Amino acid sequence: MEKIPSQDITPSVGHHTPGESTTQDMYAKRRHIYVREIKGLFQKVRRSANWALMLGFFLLPWLNWGDRPAVWFDLPGREFHIFAATFYPQEFVLLSWLLIICAFGLFFITVFAGRVWCGYTCPQSVWTFLFIWLEHRIEGSRNQRIKLDKQPMTADKIWRKGAKHTAWLLIALATGVTFVGYFTPIRTLVMELPTLEAHGWSYFWVGFFLVFTYLNAGWLREQVCIYMCPYARFQSVMFDRDTLIVSYDEARGEPRGRRKKSLSHTQAREAGFGDCIDCELCVQVCPTGIDIRDGLQYECITCAACIDACDSVMDKMGYPKGLIRYTTENALEGKKSHILRPRLLGYFVALIIMVAAFAWAVNDRIPLSFDAERERTQLYQMTREGQISNVYSITVRNLDNEPHTYQISVSGLPSLTLDHTSISVPAGESRIQVVTVLANPQDLNQPSHPITFALQAVQDEQIRQEREARFLGNARR
């Protein structure tokens, strides 16, 4: 597979000095990126997606389903409630399926449109954009923030910095409490946290998420995407020449240069200018601090802020939009782009098969699990009536939201009988029933016979499970 040439370019925001060295020193002092706020079509899409995701995250734990939280991962109770469904640890295979589906979804979207997941939906980006949005509201625009940072400590600066960090910490606290609210009912949690009645682990995880949200979104920001995120490191191998990427159209933009606004598009062309007016707006809006005009760089999270910035400049200049746009390497070189290509179709087919298999597994799921363990201390016993008896422990787990009574039956030999034929188990609980199985010695023609236990819910004929076991006895001569 041919790999797109990519470059490693030093983040230039904060200095924006043309001609500055472009080699990146791993140990270079970090330069703060003052991200300029920009409006535009893609930022509207990104903000809508971000608000929807955040609302979903913060509101879900507050929703109830009957008398319990709608989404509740009850670790001590070993029950995972997702709206009407309750899953148990023995159904973790479903969770594995879900994770595999997410991974293939990510591969598919990356082959199709690069790092759009990073730019539009990754929690690191969502929280960072939220923190930058707050920073902008409290400290002012990019230029005001640069000025403020250069100022000595004044009452205004102390107030603004204090308000910003307080707001960040409050959001980080809400994030921590909400996260823990997925594992402990949130209404109880918010009552118990201030009165120090909550569990020690709740304080630990709230504190953990508070600290890491504040650090990651407030201080580290693009450093997480560039240096810590493993996905950033390997996603480039999924790119090909037909992957949609954010690109600067060098053929159209160069030679770049500042010019009088009065110069029309044609006049600028005649004067030897390309369409880039070298305003650096695309660099100032970039949350990872790169200059997209240097070519594809792994730091680019495909957020399209530079597209919106450049389109607004093109609009003002009366030039056609799209100098920076979502395009493919092939399209940039004037070659044909192929949307449907074998690798993309392969991921798509794999994704569809896995989603279908998951839906089938969930739909076909029987909310009952049981084990039949033979008593190991004695092989078998002979009763006074001359029958052979084996003793079994039957552990029944009712995985349904309703209590059930189950009929126990056994088959495999003509004369098998049971001393207990039913067991009642409350919703979501387990019960153990010891049963004795009897058989006539005449039916036994070998020392060990396969038999089958069956459990059938009295209230629902769809709920039925079977388990194999062994019946031991004296073989008939």
Residues near ligand SF4 (CB under 6 A) are: 246, 248, 253, 256, 276-282, 285-288, 290, 292-293, 300-306, 309-310, 313, 323-324
The answer to whether 396 and 430 are in contact (CB under 8 A) is: yes
How far apart are CB 282 and ligand SF4 at their closest, in Å?
Answer: 3
The answer to whether 394 and 423 are in contact (CB under 8 A) is: yes
How far apart are CB 294 and ligand SF4 at their closest, in Å?
Answer: 9
Secondary structure (3-state) at 210: helix
Query: Which CB, 258 or 476, lies closer to ligand SF4?
Result: 258
Query: Which CB, 280 or 371, lies closer to ligand SF4?
Result: 280
Question: What is the token pair recorded at 37?
Answer: 């706020």
Q: Which residues contact 96 (CB under 8 A, 6 or more apart)?
A: none
Query: Which CB, 265 or 467, lies closer to ligand SF4?
Result: 265
State the sign of the Cα–Cα–Cα–Cα dihedral 373, 375, 377, 379: negative
Query: Which CB, 139 or 222, lies closer to ligand SF4?
Result: 222
The answer to whether 257 and 278 are in contact (CB under 8 A) is: yes
CA–CA gap between residue 15 and residue 31 (Å, rounded) = 8
How far apart are CB 33 and ligand SF4 at their closest, in Å?
Answer: 10
Query: Which CB, 310 or 413, lies closer to ligand SF4?
Result: 310
Query: Which CB, 116 or 134, lies closer to ligand SF4?
Result: 116
The residue type found at 94 is L
Dihedral of CA atoms 105, 106, 109, 111 in degrees, nearest 10, equals: -120
How far apart are CB 339 and ligand SF4 at their closest, in Å?
Answer: 20
How far apart are CB 115 and ligand SF4 at their closest, in Å?
Answer: 8
How far apart are CB 232 and ligand SF4 at their closest, in Å?
Answer: 11
How far apart are CB 324 and ligand SF4 at their closest, in Å?
Answer: 6
Query: Which CB, 263 or 279, lies closer to ligand SF4?
Result: 279
Q: Which residues contact 386 (CB under 8 A, 6 or more apart)?
A: 441
b/e map of 36-55 (b: 16 or more CB within 10 Å)? bebebebbeebbeebeeebe
CA–CA gap between residue 406 and residue 455 (Å, rounded) = 6
Q: How far is CA 275 from the centre of its chain?
A: 40
